[in-house]
Structure 1
Amino acid sequence: MSARQRILCLDDAPYVLDGLRRHLHVDYNVVTTTQPHEALDLLAADKGDPIAVIITDIRMPQMTGVDVLKRARRISPDTTRVLLTGVADMRSAIAAINQGHVFRFMLKPCPPEDLKATIAAAATQSRLVRAERELLEATLKGCVDALVETLAMAQPALFSRASRLRRLVQRVCQQLGVVDSWQIEMAAQMGEIGAITLPPSAIAVLEGGTPNSPAEADMLASLPKLADDVLARIPCLDAVREIVRHQLPTDRNPMVPLRPHAPSGAWLLQAVREYDALVWRGMPRDVAIAALSSRKIHSRDLLIALAVVGWPRLSNDTVREVDLDELALGDELAGDVYSAKGMLLVTRGQVITDRLLIRLRNYEVTGDREGPVFVVDA
């Protein structure tokens, strides 16, 4: 990220932009444009060096400044919005502030001292909002990770799927350049939490099989609602809940599209879940992609991303046997690990964390673990 915060100035009068740049360039990295759509494109791009403040005139030929800031709010909510207005447009400016779309407005002509003070306050506001959001995301992700990993100790077969789906979602989002992918990753994890209510036979079905009875099919169909009930108790997860609520069982034949107005994250997670179910039951990855393509439900870009990331692993990927002392954090298990009494400890596809490693070592020390440990050879 640039040492200086970026300020985006939009006005259809080049001389106004020249004045803004002249007064602000010492303290900020100033970007200017006379085109509203170009300004919105700039907001949507360069997420590694985000725009802290957007300043726009209220009157422009293509789009009003209020409309620009409304769209800017959706595209880049952390960007603070400032409106330039004349006395004749005062009513529109006040309405924009009351609607919550504008941090502050400035009357034209604006004295340089007032301009600098306003932009300094707006830039500080952007920094605080961004820091608060990042802290909230890190806190929520940490809590969810700890919860899911703890549940995986008790239900390894069930929650290894949640971990697998999350990693696949993460890779697909990276491939597609998805913003706020943490919400989809969290939905991939927490969307499975309702499965703790399932009997063992239904858990096996969840891994990609076919329900043995209408009762099991109803159980699987109810999982998004059960997960949503859990998520409703955690604040600030409305976007995650919306993704989870739209998920459909992966055993339906034929598969149907998601409900109208489903968010893009819900489409991505649904495709990942369908792909994972096909490959997990033994279908080659290229055949699974072809099967998804034949359904004519998911976008071409999404299917290409799934094909590129190439997860889960194929059964003929190179694996190696390791002693428990050689097992390292980040190793991916190529086979299930059992206790001496036949209890499943960790499932294939799991990535070794410090807590999983401690669990396995504790079983080893007590003599209650036997059999080889296989990992995917990187």
Structure 2
Amino acid sequence: MEKTTDLIVVADPDKDVQAGFQRLFGVHMKVACFSESEAALVFLKQNHGTAVVCSSFNLPGRGGTAFLRAAESIVPQAARVMLTREQSADSVKKALNEGHAFMYLEKPCKPADLTSAMELALAHHGQLSKDRALLERTLAGSIKLLIDMLALFHPEAFRRTATVRKQALKLAKTLGMKKTWELEMAVMLSPLGEALLPKDILARYRAARSLTEQERDVLDRAPAQSRDLLKNIPQLEKVSDYLFLSARGYDGSGFPKDGPVGEDIPLVSRILKLLTDLWYASPESGPDAAALEALTINQRKYDPKLLELAKTLLLDELPEETQKHVAQCYIRSLRPGDILIDDARTESSHELVLSRGHMLTPTTIRRLEHFHQTAGVRQPIRVERHEVPEGAMSDTA
């Protein structure tokens, strides 16, 4: 067996079994052994890249079948293997049907058979990981298209996503989050509930004007609307739950009224709560000390660790213009991939056409052209541009 960085988790109280796994596979890969279910599950929650999970049938704690079922929800790409001396058909059926085991092995198991089984399990894990990656890329592309289309009709609601996504990824990297796909999807879809709200209510809320009890109720239901729209889409079940709790304060305030408190609120929801409120408190140029001070006044609503991290990470950035090439373009010179630095607005009515931070596509460029033909769009438009030809500074009329 070739040396790899794959991780095998073994949950079995038999010390000989644990020693056997270490002897056979410890040189080639990482092996973590546990004698009961709960400690193993805690370890899995901290090691989402686990490749194979092996369990004895009579595992102390919740039992082998329930343990494998719980492991599936934590590390769905891991191959699950049941090890047992039980030989009844009912035991085999329970392991395969209820524990969703990939393989069932009888004890004692010959080293050659166990090695062969682990090779098959690793190959199964590899295929599951490839399938998941392909599905995530496909789903992410579909969601990006959906967001682009929604942003054409609700630019105010979706104008924050580009900024918040960058900030969320910066926090995630510092926190050591290895999987950020669900966080990115939650950020991209977070304005969905707002886009469904009546524009007059949303405008009053953003202007910090008083709302009637009925209007407040409509506003509070926005996270629930997002969850209801997304919960039936495969792979977005967790994202829909994160969005549902994204208005929940760390101290138990906000929506929903009977929701979790503190660390029981999912981390993604806590990040969304903090960065969404920070975005609304910040000036057009981005977060500043005053915006973070505004959040500090209501600090009980936010995860204290995240709030302190935001103060450290989000105030030390250089201005955008000093880090990236800025081009001043007329519409006919815009390119797909350009990122708007300022809001694109109509000349006379100053109506928002596309919000700052939006990455342009052929569709959005055509939208700007159409608006310019009918209502006029203020030009030139400042954009962030990559892969600039040498010597080129900006496009002109």
What is the TM-score normalised by the length of structure 1?
A: 0.76
Q: CA deviation at 1:23?
A: 4.8
Total equivalences in the alignment: 369
Q: CA deviation at 1:106?
A: 1.8
Instruction: Give the direction of change, closer, same or farther, for the CA distance of 1:19–1:3 in structure 2 (3 Å limit).
Output: closer
Correspondence for 2:128: 129
C-alpha distance in structure 2 between counterparts of 1:213 and 1:25, whole Å? 63
Instruction: Give the direction of change, closer, same or farther, for the CA distance of 1:137–1:23 in structure 2 (3 Å limit).
Output: same
AA partner of residue 208 (structure 2): T
Alignment RMSD, CA only? 4.3
Residue correspondence of structure 1 range 172-321 to structure 2 within 5 A:
172-178=171-177, 180-205=179-204, 208-214=206-212, 216-232=215-231, 234-248=233-247, 256=254, 259-260=259-260, 262-280=265-283, 285-295=288-298, 296-310=300-314, 318=321
Q: CA deviation at 1:147?
A: 0.8
Correspondence for 2:152: 153
Q: CA deviation at 1:146?
A: 0.2
* Amino-acid identity (%): 25
Q: CA deviation at 1:244?
A: 2.3
AA partner of residue 111 (structure 1): K
Q: CA deviation at 1:326?
A: 7.0
C-alpha distance in structure 1 between counterparts of 2:280 and 2:94, whole Å? 50
Q: CA deviation at 1:70?
A: 5.2
AA partner of residue 50 (structure 2): I
Instruction: Give the direction of change, closer, same or farther, for the CA distance of 1:202–1:34 in structure 2 (3 Å limit).
Output: closer
Q: CA deviation at 1:148?
A: 0.9
Classify the secondary structure of the residue corresponding to 1:51: coil
Classify the secondary structure of the residue corresponding to 2:233: coil
Q: CA deviation at 1:112?
A: 3.5
Q: CA deviation at 1:275?
A: 1.7
Could you tell me whether the CA contact under 8 Å between 1:5 and 1:51 is conserved in 2? no
Correspondence for 1:338: 345
User: What 5-or-longer segments of structure 2 have no aligned partner?
Assistant: 387-397
C-alpha distance in structure 1 between counterparts of 2:161 and 2:139, whole Å? 16
Classify the secondary structure of the residue corresponding to 1:83: strand
User: What 5-or-longer segments of structure 1 have no aligned partner?
Assistant: none
Instruction: Give the direction of change, closer, same or farther, for the CA distance of 1:165–1:357 in structure 2 (3 Å limit).
Output: same
1:81 equivalent in alignment to 2:89? no
Instruction: Indicate which of 331, 342, 348 corresponds to 2:356.
Output: 348
Instruction: Give the direction of change, closer, same or farther, for the CA distance of 1:62–1:191 in structure 2 (3 Å limit).
Output: closer
Q: CA deviation at 1:310?
A: 1.9
Q: CA deviation at 1:42?
A: 5.8
Q: CA deviation at 1:107?
A: 1.8
Q: CA deviation at 1:64?
A: 6.1
AA partner of residue 323 (structure 1): C
Could you tell me whether the CA contact under 8 Å between 2:279 and 2:287 is conserved in 1? no
Q: CA deviation at 1:290?
A: 3.6
AA partner of residue 298 (structure 1): Y
Of the structure 1 ranges 361-370 and 171-180, higher mean CA displacement relative to structure 2 is found in 361-370
What is the TM-score normalised by the length of structure 2?
A: 0.73
Instruction: Give the direction of change, closer, same or farther, for the CA distance of 1:17–1:142 in structure 2 (3 Å limit).
Output: same
Instruction: Give the direction of change, closer, same or farther, for the CA distance of 1:170–1:34 in structure 2 (3 Å limit).
Output: closer
